[in-house]
Structure 1
């Protein structure tokens, strides 16, 4: 079994194929990946030359409805011996619940001419996400109705709660339930809303439109028939079910589009470029508001590499799987029998018997932010091995069907695999169609991490903030990670992550062309964007890092600023109409190839660790069934 790609999908597949004695006997698993670390878009590294700071590809949080991902990690941690194995003692120790979210009303939408923020605390639903059940989502509409009943009381409008009673809204009687929600929205609009109540009004109006639309378009066809509206944009779908246009682009909706990087071409400044499949987004809303367990978001207590990939890689290795690093795939050959050959560049070779990818930080095994050069052969080129335009290598390798593998799991996202699978594109209209309607819409993202010398002046509790001024409108206070880095006492007092979608540089060459400088150029442009944004916008969030409303760069102790332009780093969006062109993980279009990644058909159909891990698990389980293995 040959797995191509070391992101969440490929690693989940390798973990699942080696998770039981029966599967280990049936499958000989090898995973190949470029560079010195595993993780794909989720890879993180510790910068040994700068206090072991964590360097990420973005702001990575797990959501409280990540049922598959949390379950996989629960099992991985349980099979290891905690600190003795260089990992957290349990999944519960590796994550911290996050209940607060701060939203920003824009100057023209409830902000009264300026940006205004407010913080919401999400309810604590029963249970823990690593013990979750898909039935949690089935209960979400009823839970949302209970939250609207609370809102009716806060609005001093008890009559609004009447149609929301537990014995009145019934998915089995979708027509009557939709009628009740239509009445609810009509009454809501007729109310006299005083100043300062726009947030409550928008929340109730969006919640009412969500429930009305659910009972009108989904429930009559099964509680989870999300696909029926995936050809529509979510915002337009809300409006069609009674939401005002202002509410449908309020901060409560903008934060969803920001979360999903749902902007054509990476342009977050223009509402006309915002789009996301309505069914996938409706499911996201219900899960995020009422389908999670305990908390809607979970912070990692380390880098994503440390928390997610270290335990999984250790499990794969102990269970007999092999991971080959420093392998850049350059071409995949296909014939009538499927995948025939896989061509790779060998970027580096270990100087000794094996390459140990980990360094020990804070008692845990972590991935470094650069190769451990002293473990590699002396003549290894100092290449940027994760830069697809840097073709540095020390040799080549070719794997062939029947000799080196029988089956392949392709776990490389479409923006990156398109150049590798030209044979398949010529043979398969479905593959070509997927590349055109799914892969082509992938977007670049911009990740900024700032370590600062003092508290910011933000007076509320640690929060995750969204829907603020583009382009870096999403922020999380990650100061809790400082204790897991190696800063001298008092040198650094805050750590803050910003993230956004961003437009790709013009005239970006295909990665088959050697042009390593394009990544540094994109990062330099990203730094200029960050500087301008901080100058104009940081003072509203971080007054104590500013002087007379101007951000003071002297407050920054360290900074990591990266634009994810590499095809394998780009985020796979979910525009209206695109889900119909996704392929399933157990796709039968190639006899000896399965698929894994958040770009395949999953229960989420959107970019996330959950979708990618579910996809890898689905591919592995299908192969096990095919071979009669439990």
Structure 2
């Protein structure tokens, strides 16, 4: 029997979600059933994760990209991609996934001490067993109760660090409580808890630790115990702890930090009991209408803990500020807890993993090469303008309308990659020589990735049944309202989604320095740090990238900074001058930050009069050009305002997550969606959410992968 033509799949958008869907649909197991074409704005894949090589082969990112050790789906696909690519380590410096990613255990948050100083709280997070994405490993699907039990185990560990002199150390969390012989018996456990409540037996920290052990055991089989008793028992333990510790830790920054975490843990456990999250089939989703801080406050957390460095970092890493306003921190409580608990309790190998080059080089170049080998097609310089629906009771997508930004000379497919000492990379600008009238386009400074540059070489309409059969909408969340006008107008769910699932611009800058970190006053190792002062609250030491670039004299330090960017009214965003104005705005923010704030982290970056030492900045054009002086040297660095609709970051605002549309939604026969703005089972803007969404989109079209194979997807 002869197989008919393959099913044509149009994937619009080459970010993490779109590339994931393409990778899944072109697997050899499908035996060529699907032919994929990826339609991409501009000259490179990556979306918000795109990077490019600039002057001196500098790596220029949209922002700071670190992978977390719980990104099981993302690491699984990366492992498979590199294995299939089979790069030769003799000719390519990054041939295997272990060449591409390195464990990064040293992390911190910027703590503001009651003494009025910024004091980074630094910690080496220990490696957990295994490595992310390991093949053939079946990972447990943790219940809310299991997360809570691990949370109490963490609390007992924290208390062991601040235990009273001479007191017994906290138990490990694997032992039965010494005060509860026969703890396997529900009756014995109930009797022990009731007796302690009656006697008020929490006079010492050691006694409180034993009581927490009881509570941990109870949570392991929560359905068998009266909730009211558990809540009373928890409140008695928490009250005793506060009485024992709050005054004691006030004058000691290290103990204060540990107590703030302990206080937050107590609030999480109390809230889970009060809101019955263990027995509610919605799990953490049941509290997504609350802001995380609001929910913690409702459940007894102190204001000091709610505004602690740890909570600030949680918000900063998720850009969780409505309209980018630092005065409006908001993130859905359920997703915030899910993210924090998965991050701290399910990471493998290392809490963070750093890439050995830009994300474009490490992630999207290998995916591009593998997809090309599998026969996928790529249509670069295609800007989606409209998704057209059919008429009738069962609507489907009948056409996709594009502006073709540029034509490829000779009519072939654009070749996007460049070689940087054996490594395939994306350039920071298109190869104008491959484009029709490329010299003119370059001279006229066409900006293919800017939503405000609407110049085009032509138009193209794809029609269902002729040019495509199935479509995957994998554009950035901020672009949906602009390209799906008919869907938004006709479908109340899509209209609610674009109104409720909001996005926000972000900002980032990178500096290359002629002095090492120790010379700048940072005496610890390379770190990832968040929770610092706005306008740039997050910093990572990326000095390890110096060897991957092509400087005459390599920089001795490289630093990346990023943060949310305060939004402006919609009317202002429509003006043609807006993107250039925002680019200049980020420059001003960065200069002010270097002058005013950075000395808190790098005390020796200041000159004799308290300003930033501009001579530290390395110019890739030197010495062929006269060196710039003073603040003008910053113009040789790299900064970006991510304000285009496709670049904006999707927020997880309270009350918004239920308005997300799932890739599994089948309202339109030939359309699915993919992106970190969809309902993916992990509804927060990150690589893992986008990859999960892309896998769900592939499942919606082909049935593969099976839902149980998507790690962390536990929705019905």
TM-score, normalised relative to structure 1: 0.93
Q: Report 1:166-245 matches (<5 A).
A: 168-173=217-222, 175=227, 178-191=231-244, 192-194=247-249, 195-196=251-252, 197-217=255-275, 219-221=277-279, 225-245=283-303
CA distance in 2, matches of 1:404, 1:453: 53
Partners of 1:471 and 1:90 in 2: CA distance: 37
Distance change (3 Å), C-alpha of 1:276 and 1:423: same
Larger CA deviation: 344-353 vs 28-37: 344-353
Q: State the match for 2:106 in structure 1.
A: 100
Q: For residue 42 of structure 1, report the CA deviation from its aligned partner.
A: 0.5
**Within 1, Cα distance between the matches of 2:498 and 2:57?**
39
Q: CA deviation at 1:465?
A: 0.9
Give the superposition deviation at 1:587.
1.4
Who is 1:566 aligned against?
A: 644
2:235 aligned counterpart, secondary structure = helix
Q: In the comparison of the two structures, how many residue pairs are matched?
A: 615
Which residue among 594, 602, 606 is the counterpart of 2:684? 606
Closer, same or farther in 2 for the Cα pair 1:72/1:218, shift >3 Å?
A: farther
Work out the CA distance in 2 between the residues paired with 1:400 and 1:509: 35
CA distance in 2, matches of 1:246, 1:341: 55
Cα distance, 1:26–1:277 mapped onto 2, change above 3 Å: same
The CA RMSD measured in Å over matched residues stands at: 2.3
Matched, 1:377 2:436: yes
Cα shift at 1:627: 13
Aligned to 1:479: 543
Q: 1:144 to 1:461 in 2, by over 3 A?
A: farther
Contact kept, 8 Å, 2:148 with 2:219, in 1: the verdict is no
Contact persistence 2:477–2:648 (CA under 8 A): no
Gaps spanning 5+ residues in structure 2: where? 1-8, 164-204, 619-635, 710-716
Q: Is the 8 A contact 1:234 1:276 kept in 2?
A: yes
Deviation at 1:147, TM superposition (A): 2.4
Q: Contact 1:472–1:498 (CA<8 Å) still a contact in 2?
A: yes
Q: 1:390 to 1:320 in 2, by over 3 A?
A: same
SS of the counterpart of 1:232?
coil
From the CA coordinates, give the structure whose radius of gyration is larger: 2
Structure 2 distance, partners of 1:40, 1:597, is 10
Match of 2:130 in 1: 127
Other-structure match for 2:148: 141
Q: How do residues 427-506 of structure 1 correspond to structure 2 at under 5 angstroms?
A: 427-438=490-501, 441-455=502-516, 456-489=520-553, 491-506=554-569
Whether 2:605 is the aligned partner of 1:545: answer yes
Q: TM-score, normalised by structure 2?
A: 0.82
CA contact (8 A) 1:457 1:542 kept: yes
Task: Provide the rounded CA distance (Å) in 1 between the counterparts of 2:275 and 2:617.
Answer: 50
- The alpha-carbon deviation at position 285 of structure 1 amounts to 1.2
Q: Does the residue aligned with 1:25 lie in a helix, a strand or coil?
A: coil
Task: Give the deviation of 1:508 after TM superposition.
Answer: 5.0
Q: Is the 8 A contact 2:526 2:541 kept in 1?
A: yes
Query: Which residue does 1:65 correspond to in 2?
Result: 70
Aligned 8 A contact 2:320 2:652 in 1: yes
Q: Determine whether 1:585 maps to 2:663.
A: yes
Contact 2:291–2:654, Cα closer than 8 Å, also in 1: yes
For 1:285, the equivalent position in structure 2 comes to 340
Q: Is 1:21 matched up with 2:29?
A: yes
Q: State whether residues 452 and 556 of structure 1, in contact with CA within 8 Å, keep that contact through their aligned partners in structure 2.
A: yes
Distance in 2 (alpha carbons) for counterparts of 1:81 and 1:551: 46
SS of the residue 1:231 aligns to: coil
Counterpart in 2 of 1:329?
A: 384
Q: Alpha-carbon deviation of 1:607?
A: 0.6
Provide the secondary structure at the position in 1 that maps to 2:278.
Answer: helix
